[in-house]
Structure 1
Amino acid sequence: MDYLVLLYYCYAPIDDVEAFREEHHRLCLRLHLRGRIIVAPEGLNGTVSGRRADCEEYMRVVKADSRFAALEFKIEPAEAHTFQKLHVRVKPEIVHVGLPDIKPYERTGIHLSPQEFKDMKDQDDVVVLDVRSDYEHELGRFKNAVTLDIENFREFPGKVGELEQYKDKKILTYCTGGIKCEKASAFLLEQGFENVYQLHGGIIKYGLEAGGEDFDGKCYVFDGRVAVDVNSVNPTIISTCHNCHTPSARMVNCANPHCNDHLPLCEACAEQLEGACSPTCQQHPDKRPYDGTGTYPKNSNNYNPEQGLLSYRAPAK
């Protein structure tokens, strides 16, 4: 495959985030990358796609910056760009949870390699904790993992009280690429949990290095692929079609833009409902035409990759 998808993050202080954002945007333009990148005072977070040589040059340049020398890229092959556009934005946090004072580069959970995580996860004194949102862990999760009923990661701090029963256990947190676990495990430590660990590199790295064993279902990803296989050892499907309840890992957005729920819908039901999640949404006058994919990216006609650089305005302080 000629293209790569890079998933990465690094918690490291960035003093002048606006200047860094502009410089980084220019780097991505020069290398013809597309994707979503967040720059914050606490670090850098991104998912980008591009041709193999361009991605390799991007990784070299980023890691040449001493602040990001320890950054690890999760690298996956792709047949083409998995993003339509490039966005490089400044935000208060590189993953929004509302805890800007939590600094993972000062204190966070113990990092476990995929093999170490695999060796520990089934021990009697261990609890495996999924810190992702509902629609993510309903599509795929580790066997016997504890999940939280949250629609967005920013709800995580309010759910920690539900974990008090596990304070005498070793807590092994995991997420897609590792970034949420950095904040989640740091917050757990602040709340008095003593034995907190995290899967370094997340589900994606676990799939690449440990074969994804005992990860049931598919892994939700935030690019055009939507869901990816990670388990090559004992794969299974755990999600079911929202309409007929047969096993299905095919994620779609409801064709009714006023609903837009993200849920599993098998091909047969998607065709029958024209991409909607219910007959009610199917009859909505604003329903989008269904093209068989169940995804509705914004129209990219006349996309100018320079526009994000030209029109960017730093957020008010």
Structure 2
Amino acid sequence: MKPYRVLLYYNYTPIPNPEAYREIHHLYCLENNLLGRIIVAPEGLNGTVSGLAEDCERYMQWLENDPIFVGSNFDFKVEAHEKHAFAKLHVRVKEEIVNSDLPVNPRVKTGKHLEPAAFKEMLKNDPDVVLVDMRSNYEHAVGKFKGAITFDMETLRELPEHVQEIEHLKDKKIITYCTGGIKCEKASAYLLERGFENVYQLHGGIIKYGLEEGGEDFEGKCYVFDNRVTTEVNQINPKVISKCYICDTDCDKMVNCANPTCNEHVPICADCLVKMEGACSEECKSHPRKRPYNPDGYYSKQSDNYTPEFGFKSRQKTEVDYSNFRLEV
């Protein structure tokens, strides 16, 4: 039995004082040995964290019992892992819990949620269904649903530039999907704003579909934002769809280039990783800033202005009122 857990979650519930909540949330994670990336925003909370099973269970209970979130649904996606999936802990305050700049509010209007079983059933039996991937190009390059439409976009901010690519499908049933469901809350809402009428979203995303339905027809691996880089999803009919960036052989080993000035997300096979010392090109291999070879292909970002206790030094420190927050479960 793997002793650690990796949690993926989000919650579109307004947080009245994001700065204060960031501080108490970060303190809780530090005291409970949790690592990961958590975003706090006025519109809600988004996180991926790892820790021992008992620490993660306590953390989920703490969130669900917090007065801010009582009555809402976190819908945690929980994967077993042999160790921490992160090297650090970051809890940041941002304007949005997923970068989009889309003029929508998923608490007001969003696509119809499809649980994994209903999603699988609709795909098998409804000829009018069209799957649309709302992730970035480097994510769907290593894995996507069979037959899904993908966009060549770096972030969700670029979605308005690509909607015309599916305008001719407005009479179809559109199902959006992403890693854990968070992007689809806004992406599906945006499609509704643009005149699409039958818009659905895979609730809980690719990860939940893999956990509950075995991941059938998800081809390749799912890109994740921790030091695993990718995770297995399909236990039924797996297929490798990506090729090594260097030698063009079939490969689903997704890595970051060892050159930090490049840091490209690409598939590189084990042989090429060794030969290129983790770099994606000869130029990157000889770059003076190239990081030491890491066979995992993952390199933590350096945050020079960040400390666990105070966040980013560049942010003006504000007086924090802790009276409405608590650490106990």
Contact 2:91–2:311, Cα closer than 8 Å, also in 1: no
Q: Any idea what SS the aligned residue of 1:56 has?
A: helix
Q: Does 1:120 align with 2:118?
A: no
Q: Please, which moves more after superposition, 276-285 or 127-136?
A: 276-285
Distance 1:205 1:314 in 2: 37
Spell out, residue by residue over 1:72-121, the C-alpha distance to the aligned partner (whole angstroms, 9 max, x if none).
1000111111111111111000000112x421111100000001111112
Deviation at 1:314, TM superposition (A): 8.4
The equivalent of 2:325 in structure 1 is none
Contact 2:245–2:268, Cα closer than 8 Å, also in 1: yes
Contact 1:7–1:75, Cα closer than 8 Å, also in 2: yes
Distance 1:269 1:206 in 2: 32
Spell out, residue by residue over 1:244-283, the C-alpha distance to the aligned partner (whole angstroms, 9 max, x if none).
1111011111222222211000011112222221222223
Distance 2:151 2:53 in 1: 37
Q: Any idea what SS the aligned residue of 1:121 has?
A: helix
Q: Please, which moves more after superposition, 134-143 or 117-126?
A: 117-126
TM-score, reference length from structure 1: 0.93
Distance 1:6 1:65 in 2: 18
Q: Does 1:157 align with 2:160?
A: yes
Task: Please tell me the residue identity of whatever aligns with 1:308.
Answer: P
Distance 1:294 1:144 in 2: 29
Distance 2:165 2:60 in 1: 40
Distance 1:287 1:43 in 2: 37
The equivalent of 1:308 in structure 2 is 308
Q: Please, which moves more after superposition, 32-41 or 279-288?
A: 279-288
Q: Please, which moves more after superposition, 204-213 or 71-80?
A: 71-80
Contact 1:218–1:230, Cα closer than 8 Å, also in 2: yes
Distance 1:293 1:311 in 2: 28
Contact 1:121–1:172, Cα closer than 8 Å, also in 2: no
Task: Please tell me the residue identity of whatever aligns with 1:155.
Answer: E
TM-score, reference length from structure 2: 0.90
Correspondent of 1:250 among 249, 253, 267: 253
Distance 1:262 1:90 in 2: 25
How large is the RMSD of aligned CA atoms in angstroms?
2.0
Contact 2:92–2:311, Cα closer than 8 Å, also in 1: no
Q: Please, which moves more after superposition, 14-23 or 41-50?
A: 14-23
Q: What are the equivalent positions in structure 2 for 1:189-208 lying under 5 Å apart?
A: 189-208=192-211
Q: Any idea what SS the aligned residue of 2:274 has?
A: helix
Q: Indicate the percent of aligned positions where both proteins have the same amino acid.
A: 58
Task: Please tell me the residue identity of whatever aligns with 1:285.
Answer: P
Deviation at 1:307, TM superposition (A): 3.7
Correspondent of 2:188 among 185, 190, 204: 185
Moved over 4 A (4+): 311-317
**Gap runs ≥5 in structure 2:** 319-329
Distance 1:96 1:118 in 2: 28
Q: Does 1:63 align with 2:60?
A: no
Contact 1:253–1:262, Cα closer than 8 Å, also in 2: yes
Count of residue correspondences: 312
Q: Any idea what SS the aligned residue of 2:15 has?
A: coil
Q: Does 1:295 align with 2:295?
A: no
Deviation at 1:311, TM superposition (A): 4.8
**Gap runs ≥5 in structure 1:** none
Q: Any idea what SS the aligned residue of 2:310 has?
A: helix
Correspondent of 2:83 among 41, 66, 80: 80
Deviation at 1:223, TM superposition (A): 0.5
